Amino acid sequence: MRLQGIPKAKIAEELGIQDVGRLKIWMRKYREQGDFGLMEHRGRRKEYKDLEREVKRLRLENDVLKKW
């Protein structure tokens, strides 16, 4: 909807979201991280988060090496 030029306030109203600021945060997270950014992360164990960071770092490293 936002890509169609509809204001955030209008989108929030249509979706029943009272806090437009929350909508802005969700939009930013989705833009930066995709679907993963909208997933619930509370209660996740620290070791899982560390593994995810390591996998992300290794994928980035692989991408750089492939470009070489």
The predicted model scores a pTM of 0.50
Q: What is the pLDDT of residue 62?
A: 92
Nearest-angstrom CA–CA distance, 15 and 6:
13
Determine the 3-state secondary structure of 3 from DSSP. helix
What is the reported pLDDT for 50?
Answer: 75
Residue-wise pLDDT for 8-60, tens only, equals: 888 888 888 888 898 888 888 888 888 877 877 676 666 666 778 888 889 99
Q: Which residue has the higher pLDDT, 66 or 4?
A: 66
Compute the distance between CA of residue 25 and CA of residue 33 in angstroms, rounded to an integer. Answer: 12
